Amino acid sequence: MKVPLAKTRPRVLALILMLGVTVLGTGCASVDTGPFTQFATSVQSLRDGSDSQAGAAATASRQDLVEQVASGEVSPADLQLQFDESNPFVTSYGFAESEPNFVKLIRFRQGLAALNDAMVSYAQSLVLLSGGGQGGDILPTSAQFDQMAQSLNANAGTAASALGVKIGSGEQALLSTAAVQLFKAYIENKRRKDLAQAIEEVQPRVDEFSLAAQQAVHFLASMAQTDYDEEILPLATATPANATPILTLNDTTQATLATLEALSSSYGALPEAHRDLKAATSKKPGGLSGLIALTNEAIRLQGFVTQLAKANAAAAAPQ
């Protein structure tokens, strides 16, 4: 089959020109993966920080129950598990008037971890889509695109001659190279649009996430306050009076609250940082202030976590 080259060439060139105008109009440079990686790293820090705090709250609640049983406030009979009649895999604290709080806190911790995990997965998908995944970019590299163009040239050239189509080598190269380069630009442009669209669509969920996570942290702070008031009484009324354990308790409590405050601020900074990611896809000039704030909060959080670990180690040491 002989293709009338004189007719097809202007059409192909017009198509390439149209694609070119479309792509150039929206820009075709790669997305900067830095802000996306930064966002994902910060979210991971929040996940680790909040899980450790929720774990500490569950442990404290369990210890509280142990002390209540020891002092006779709670009967050991209330701790017996009741097995579901119709499902041998399901148990509950059905013999007690109400389920112990530590069980609720274990569920709370799992819920908080699942919520954070969902956000971490989303943030990592954003990194992947932006081209910063650990396994490399989802798009071929420039070299791979060039290789694709060369293969296309070679294949198309031989196929054309086998089909009896006479095309000059320069024309073959012009056609396929331009097409592949435009395709590359089109895909890059699509990636940019997909990122921006996804970020915009998910923004309300991130706002909800931020609020829910801040409420969870507020709740943990409330638990820490109650625990403090329970623990201070025997220490403050002990004879002979001893300030050391009281000050150690104060240090640990203050370090815990500082960590929770940093966590709350970090979660509060998340929506703005997420909005900044949309700006990062379009490479608009201007600083990513929300993302910088989140990163700083995450760094501050790490500092408090370190301080808290030191305070806990000091509290565990013999007084």
Nearer to other proteins, 240 or 318 (CB): 240
Nearer to other proteins, 274 or 311 (CB): 274
Cis peptide before 4 (omega within 30 of 0): no
Whether 97 contacts 75, CB under 8 Å = no
Whether 218 contacts 264, CB under 8 Å = yes
Q: Is 274 in the site for other proteins (CB under 8 A)?
A: no
Which of residues 95, 194, 243, 310 is near other proteins by CB under 8 A? 194
**49 closest CA partner among 216, 202, 207, 205:** 216
Nearer to other proteins, 208 or 310 (CB): 208
Q: Is 138 in the site for other proteins (CB under 8 A)?
A: yes
Both structure tokens of 65: 């129950």
**Minimum CB separation from other proteins for residue 156, in Å?**
6
Segment near other proteins (CB under 8 A), from 23-31, 83-91, 97-105, 257-265?
Answer: 97-105
**Minimum CB separation from other proteins for residue 306, in Å?**
27
Q: Is 191 in the site for other proteins (CB under 8 A)?
A: yes
Segment near other proteins (CB under 8 A), from 5-13, 30-38, 112-120, 262-270?
Answer: 112-120
Whether 167 contacts 5, CB under 8 Å = yes
Rounded to 5 degrees, what are φ and ψ at 140?
-60, 155
Q: Which residue has the tokens 């409590």?
A: 253
**Minimum CB separation from other proteins for residue 60, in Å?**
11
**266 closest CA partner among 307, 295, 309, 223:** 295
- Report the site for other proteins in 73-92 (rule: CB under 8 A): 73
Compute the distance between CA of residue 92 and CA of residue 81 in angstroms, rounded to an integer: 6
Whether 295 contacts 38, CB under 8 Å = yes
Cα separation values, 209 from 4, 117, 221, Å = 60, 12, 18
**Minimum CB separation from other proteins for residue 228, in Å?**
8
Give the 3-state secondary structure of residue 134: coil
Nearer to other proteins, 73 or 85 (CB): 73
Q: Is 243 in the site for other proteins (CB under 8 A)?
A: no
Q: Is 139 in the site for other proteins (CB under 8 A)?
A: yes
Rounded to 5 degrees, what are φ and ψ at 92?
-150, 170
Nearer to other proteins, 125 or 307 (CB): 125
Compute the distance between CA of residue 274 and CA of residue 318 in angstroms, rounded to an integer: 46
Both structure tokens of 272: 């703005």
Q: Is 233 in the site for other proteins (CB under 8 A)?
A: yes
Q: Which residues contact other proteins by CB under 8 A?
A: 1-2, 73, 98-99, 101, 104-105, 107-108, 110-112, 114-115, 117-119, 121-122, 125-126, 128-129, 138-140, 148, 151-152, 155-156, 158-159, 162-164, 180, 183, 187, 190-191, 194, 198, 201-202, 205, 208-209, 211-212, 215-216, 218-219, 222-223, 225-226, 229-230, 232-233, 236-237
